[in-house]
């Protein structure tokens, strides 16, 4: 769950909305490969219509957790495991989240 922080320039909701406004609408994945340079036109997407590679995404998660001062280095797996634990704790059936 993501909470809005009114009046904060680092509000996660506003950051997410800004990010999604720059995505390529011809491709439905949320993790898209960035273009080599920011387009000149405001209407043109900043991202290609291809996904970010699995290895690239895995490296980014590690860098994000280190650069933001998290108490430990997180990986894609640790976030997925945390999500599954939370869903299990609130009695969501395993069939719904077993693909995580």
Decide if pLDDT at 60 tops 50. Answer: yes
Decide if pLDDT at 1 tops 70. Answer: no
Confidence of residue 87 (pLDDT cuts 50, 70, 90): low
Three-class SS state of 90:
coil
The Cα 42–Cα 99 span in angstroms is 36
Residues 6+ apart with CB under 8 A from 96: 87
Average pLDDT of span 75-89: 64
The Cα 86–Cα 84 span in angstroms is 5
Q: 3-12, 20-29, 81-90: which has the highest mean pLDDT?
A: 20-29
Q: Are 50 and 70 in contact (CB under 8 A)?
A: no
pTM, 2 dp: 0.60
Three-class SS state of 39:
coil
Three-class SS state of 97:
helix
């Amino acid at each position: 769950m993501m909470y809005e922080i009114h009046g904060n320039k680092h509000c996660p909701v506003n950051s997410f909305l800004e990010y999604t406004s720059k995505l390529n609408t011809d491709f439905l994945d949320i993790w898209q490969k960035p273009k080599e340079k920011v387009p000149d036109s405001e209407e043109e997407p900043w991202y290609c219509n291809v996904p970010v590679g699995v290895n690239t995404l895995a490296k980014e998660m590690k860098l994000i957790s280190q650069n933001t001062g998290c108490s430990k280095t997180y990986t894609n797996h640790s976030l997925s495991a945390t999500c599954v634990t939370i869903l299990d704790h609130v009695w969501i059936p395993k069939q719904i989240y077993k693909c995580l």
